[in-house]
Amino acid sequence: MVIMSLERPLDVGTCVRRQRLAAGLTETQLAEASGVSPRLVRQIEAGHPGADLDSFLTVLTAAGIELTPVSPQAVAQAQADIDRAAADIRHELESGDEEFALRLLSDVFTRLRAHLAGRPLPTLPTPPSTSSERFDTLLRAGVRWAVGATVGSSRPWPAPEPLRSKWYPGDTFLPMSKDWIALTDRETPEALRSANIGIRSRSLMSA
């Protein structure tokens, strides 16, 4: 099943089309599997409203799309956790404590992953700056990883621009050997790798 957020009809249509093509189905085949007309499938994929709810949900199910609601309270709490983490990290960085700043990041990633992983989130306001380009990028990329942003269209915000040079947060405290760097690269989630950050997924989570 694909989990996605619903903000516009076209978002739904785009995901239906992507799933249909990934499954190797034609519009007619998806329509037959759904018990609806090919015309209705085309309308849904084009983002045109008008389908009755039963037919709409039948097409989504046949395409392998699951609708999973997230309460406004959960979204507000996620935003509050992220914003508070950004402010606390800024304070720690200004105090020169990068190690504790990283611990704060892992704490917020752990909370988000426990409560929202794989759940659809609407677009959120970009969090306040931590005063560090590296930590700003790590926070944004890490949140996308924590909520499973690579699944469907669950994106709290666009992917951050990659850092100009590769950053291994673990190397800040203890020089990393070539073997350790190679292991870290292998175990870095794609959301972080694409931001030019090398950090193992287990290091993103607090104990």
* CATH 1.10.260.40 fits domain 2-66: yes
Q: Which of 79-93, 176-190, 193-207 has the lowest mean pLDDT?
A: 193-207
CB atoms within 10 A of CB 70: 17
Domain extent listing, the chain: 2-66, 72-204
Per-residue pLDDT, averaged over 164-193, amounts to: 91
103-108: long-range contacts (C-beta < 8 A, 24 or more apart)? 103/206, 105/135, 105/138, 105/139, 105/142, 105/204, 106/203, 106/204, 106/205, 106/206, 107/206, 108/81, 108/82, 108/143, 108/146
Per-residue pLDDT, averaged over 34-59, amounts to: 81
Question: Can you give the pLDDT at residue 69?
Answer: 59
Q: Which residue has the higher pLDDT, 4 or 164?
A: 164
Q: Is the pLDDT of residue 43 over 80?
A: yes
pLDDT digits over 51-105, tens only? Answer: 676 777 788 778 777 666 567 777 788 889 999 999 999 999 999 999 999 999 9
Question: Can you give the pLDDT at residue 68?
Answer: 61
